[in-house]
Amino acid sequence: MALALVDCESFYASCERIFRPDLKHVPIVVLSNNDGCVIARSTEAKKMGIGMGVPWFKVKDSFLSQGGKVFSSNFTFYGDMSARVMNILEGFVPEVEVYSIDEAFLGLDSLEEHYNLYDFGCHIRSLIKQWTGVPVRIGIAPTKTLTKIALNEAKRVNVPTKVHQISTVKEIREALKNTPVRDVWGVGRRLGEHLNQAKITNALQLADVDPRYIKRKFSVVLERTVRELRGQRCLGIENNAAAKKQIVVSRSFGTRVTDLKTLRPIVSNFAVRAAEKLRNEKQKCSQVSVFIRTSPFSDHKPQHTGYKTIEFSTPTNDTRDILIAAKKALLPIFKPGYDYAKAGILLSRFSNEEIKQYSLFKDPNEPKENSKFMKHIDELNAYETQIYFASQNTKKWSPMKQNMTSPKYTTSWYELPIVNRLIVKKYK
Ligand SMILES: [Mg+2]
């Protein structure tokens, strides 16, 4: 019985290095939207003591003066690199659960009798590195919770191959003993403190408590964790991620927005993006909500928060319907005289796009529902937005303050990396 957890190392920072070999040993940090906080650090940056989530302005001067390199987040690029890594995994392993942008669980039960799993892990790791440039770490163990422990253990003892398997009772107990209880998957800081008070400080102590006691004293969820630590599999690989129940597209603005003329195209952009995501999920929605708010941090200024939901009589995933609804929702909640700091759109009440459900009464605003038309637009816009809706903001002005974004190396024809300028010139 074996599962694996594949984790991309310092993922966003590693991505920034792929097309910039000159940054190989340079400390790198990546910032959140609007360049507010540090959300990813290369190993070198971690060594410099840059903490996760620290406000950029606090560390900026010292980081840059020590030769560090900073990037605004480039999620288009990271998302594409993530998809490439996941694709490789899916090519080799029948059971893959994409857990987050930089993590995936693998079900290795069917491979166990044919392969040495450690060697298999090393092979996959080197292929991913060679084909995408992304460095990964792999933890192999009998349960999901233990794969995380295997990864921690690999870090602790500094396994040079970055692949670590724990399978014998001795190996597992040794790894558990060296894991603080708060680092166990699903425990966290707050629950960790409660457990510490009960004299449970490391994962081994937690594994040795009677699960029935844990269930009574804490929760069923923690009981499951205890069983998983003991090597009893409670969580399987989920191949089909559960269908989403809602889609939110929202942003904080780098510069405040005060007028409807500026705000509306931004909300339209969110609506277009949300509708794309909805079609991607093969869903339709019956509700569109828009929210806007001022900044709670500038409390010396007047505050306003607005939220409105529009319902469709028939579910739709046509961008034009969603744009009309977004406008209808935005107009009554917008009040002039405020500095807006954030806006967003939320699509909800989903139904499968294949199921047609008609309203009992004829609706004068019947949804457009021309899926062919939308499909063509999605195809045209897949790699570079070529078609905009009239109410959109076409990039001329962005509410985001992001000045240090790397090119969209892999998803935009206009930003492809140039390998060697001399060769390009020669053949021109
Ligand atoms: Mg990671």
* DSSP string of 167-219, one letter each residue: -SHHHHHHHHHTSBGGGSTTTHHHHHHHHHHTT--BHHHHHTS-HHHHHHHT-
Q: Assess if residue 288 is contained within a domain.
A: yes
Q: For residues 125 and 352, which has the higher predicted lDDT (pLDDT)?
A: 125
| Residue 237 belongs to a domain | no
Q: Is residue 283 part of a domain?
A: yes
CA angle 269, 272, 274 (to 5 degrees): 105
| 197 occurs within a structural domain | no
Cα of 136 vs centre of ligand 1, distance in Å, is: 8
Average of per-residue pLDDT values in the chain: 88
- The Å distance, Cα 206 to ligand 1 centre, comes to 25
Taking the centre of ligand 1 as the mean of its atom positions, its distance from the CA of residue 124, in whole angstroms, is: 16
* pLDDT confidence of residue 1: 86
**Residue 344, H or E segment:** strand 340-352
What would the mean pLDDT of 128-150 be, rounded to a whole number?
96
36 located within any domain: no
- pLDDT, one tens digit per residue, over 213-252 is 999 988 999 999 999 999 999 999 886 555 678 899 988 8
pLDDT (tens digit per residue) in 273-319: 999 999 988 899 999 999 999 987 777 888 899 999 999 988 999 99
CB 130 within 8 A of CB 136: no
171-181 mean pLDDT: 95
The model's pLDDT over 70-127, given as tens digits with 9 standing for 90+, comes to 999 998 899 999 999 999 999 899 899 999 999 999 999 988 888 899 999 999 999 9
Q: What is the pLDDT of residue 369?
A: 62
- Give me ligand 1 centre to Cα 335, in Å: 42
Q: What is the Å distance from ligand 1's center to 8 Cα?
A: 4
Q: What is the pLDDT of residues 64-79, one digit of tens each?
A: 999 999 999 998 899 9
State the distance from the centre of ligand 1 to the C-alpha of 102, rounded, in angstroms: 5
Q: How many Å lie between the centroid of ligand 1 and the Cα of residue 54? A: 18
First to last CA, the chain: 57
Threshold 0.85, pTM exceeds = no
Task: Tell me, in angstroms, the distance from the centre of ligand 1 to residue 184's CA.
Answer: 16
Structural domain contains residue 259? yes
Q: How far is the CA of 103 from the centre of ligand 1 (A)?
A: 7
Residue 428 confidence class, pLDDT cut points 50, 70, 90 = very low
In a domain, 373, yes or no: yes
**pLDDT confidence of residue 297:** 76
If one counts the domains in the chain, the total is: 1
- What was the pLDDT predicted at 409? 86
Q: How far is the CA of 137 from the centre of ligand 1 (A)?
A: 8
Asked whether residue 166 is domain-assigned, the answer is no
Q: How many A from CA of 370 to the centre of ligand 1?
A: 40
Q: Are 10 and 44 in contact (CB under 8 A)?
A: no
CATH number at residue 376: 3.30.1490.100
Task: Tell me how far the alpha carbon of residue 81 lies from the centroid of ligand 1, in angstroms.
Answer: 13
Pairing of strands 340-352, 283-294: antiparallel
Residue 164 pLDDT exceeds 50:
yes
The rounded Å distance from CA 40 to ligand 1 centre is: 9
How far does the centroid of ligand 1 lie from the alpha carbon of residue 416, in Å? Answer: 25
Task: Give the structural domain span for 302.
Answer: 247-381
Ligand 1 centroid vs 294 CA: distance in angstroms?
33
